[in-house]
Amino acid sequence: MSPEPSSPGISVVTATYERAATLPRLFASLEQQDGVDFEWVVVDDGSSDGTADVVADLRERATFPVVYVRQENAGKHHAINTGVRNASGEFCAVMDDDDWYTPGALGRMLARWEEIPEPYREQFANIEGLCADPEGEVIGDRFPTDVCDSNGIEISLVHGVEGDKVGMYRREVLAANPFPEDLGWHVTAALAWNRIAARWWTRYVNEIWAHKEYRAEGLTSRETEVRLLWPESMRVFWSELAAIPRPMPLRSRFKASANAIRYGFDCGDGVRGSLALAPGRGWAAVALPAGVALYLRDQRQRAKLEAEP
């Protein structure tokens, strides 16, 4: 039987929905995390596939605390917020329900965090490493150096690093910067991460800490569908990015402005409301044609999705 929680160093937060079949794989990887105190906080976002029974069984066998919380289906972003509120660790490691850690990954995260000089740690929100596919090949790009201090905006727009990454955040940072819960059922994770990146630094490490498997029914594979059905968070994400004070290439500012206008139209804001999402009249005028073109493409994609059986 799992022990009682005792202020662990890390809370692994997993938002899950209809993934009873994949949770044991993640659990097995957690059993391979030696030398670090952690808990597993599982938030069941209204599953009907026996997830509660699976987690109960895993909890009985666990060598670490397991916290199970069930809520009505409200979306992954809402479930992550719930997980953070129920976490007790100094750090929160957000982990998808169909991914799994490499052996000793949590300990490596803590060790790498402690390499940051203590007087500077308050300036950092998180630490991030690499993800690999099931065969062990790195997903996306490696970081510019094996240890790189930057932020999520700079690492993407300036250094051009793409692809899913994995790590942990200080819990107090996540608690103070939750995912918005008033923008529909789906909220892009980048919205919350960019808000954090606008204020804090991240330490990036070229070490593989997790494996990721993209499933046909997953949100990543359904990206086009979900952003067309719930465009509100995309509108907010792109408009905030367009106006963010951190340095970025002009082409990135243009792209953000065009997409802000695009999703303004998608949300029915009209011409004036959509143009107001760009960071100034100059950007609005320059980005308007591209924004309209993207909006028209969205309309064609939406019609195609509605026509599918």
Cα 104 to its chain centre, rounded Å, is: 22
**Is 142 a residue whose pLDDT tops 80?**
yes
The predicted-structure confidence for 10-60, as pLDDT tens digits, reads as follows 999 999 999 999 999 999 999 999 889 999 999 999 999 999 999 999 999
275-304 pLDDT, tens digit each? 999 999 999 999 999 999 999 999 998 888
Question: Sign of dihedral through CA atoms 70, 76, 82, 88?
Answer: positive
User: Tell me, what's the pLDDT at 59?
Assistant: 97
Q: What confidence tier does 216 reach under pLDDT thresholds 50, 70, 90?
A: low
252-265 pLDDT, tens digit each: 999 999 999 999 99
pLDDT confidence bin for 1, thresholds 50/70/90: very low
**Distance linking the first and last C-alpha atoms of the chain:** 47
30 and 40 Cβ atoms separated by less than 8 Å: yes
Domains and CATH numbers, the chain: 10-211 (3.90.550.10), 223-304 (no CATH)
Global confidence as pTM = 0.91
Query: Exposed, middle or buried: residue 281 (CB in 10 Å: 0-12, 13-18, 19+)?
Result: exposed
Query: How far is the C-alpha of 207 from the C-alpha of 200, rounded, in Å?
Result: 21
Tell me the mean pLDDT in the region 146-151.
96
- Kind of pairing between the strands at 100-101 and 201-211: antiparallel
- Give 57's contacts (C-beta < 8 A, 6+ positions apart): none
pLDDT tops 50 at residue 2: no
DSSP three-state, residue 119 = helix
Q: Distance (Å, rounded) from C-alpha 272 to C-alpha 253?
A: 20
Q: Are strands 165-170 and 124-132 parallel, antiparallel or unpaired?
A: antiparallel
Three-class SS state of 144? coil
Nearest to 203, CA basis, from 120, 119, 116, 122: 116
